Amino acid sequence: MKRYNRQLRDLIIAGRATPSFLVSHELPLSEAVDAYDKFDNRVDGYTKVLLHPEVA
């Protein structure tokens, strides 16, 4: 897995891969439990969820 991650990172840096098209939802970290539940149940097209920390 680590080798794959390094290769993917290098492709992204070189501009040869744009995995962001996989992201279906971007949510605050406080919605993580609900987001994981929806992802597990394939609700509303949840394919890849990015969780962002909330700034205090």
How many beta carbons lie within 10 A of that of residue 43, not counting itself?
11
Tens-digit pLDDT profile for the chain (56 aa)?
677 788 888 998 999 998 888 888 999 999 999 999 998 998 978 888 889 998 76
| Whether the Cβ atoms of residue 50 and residue 25 lie closer than 8 Å to each other | yes
Q: Is 45 left (phi over 0), alpha (psi -120 to 50) or beta?
A: left
- pLDDT computed for residue 52 by the predictor: 93
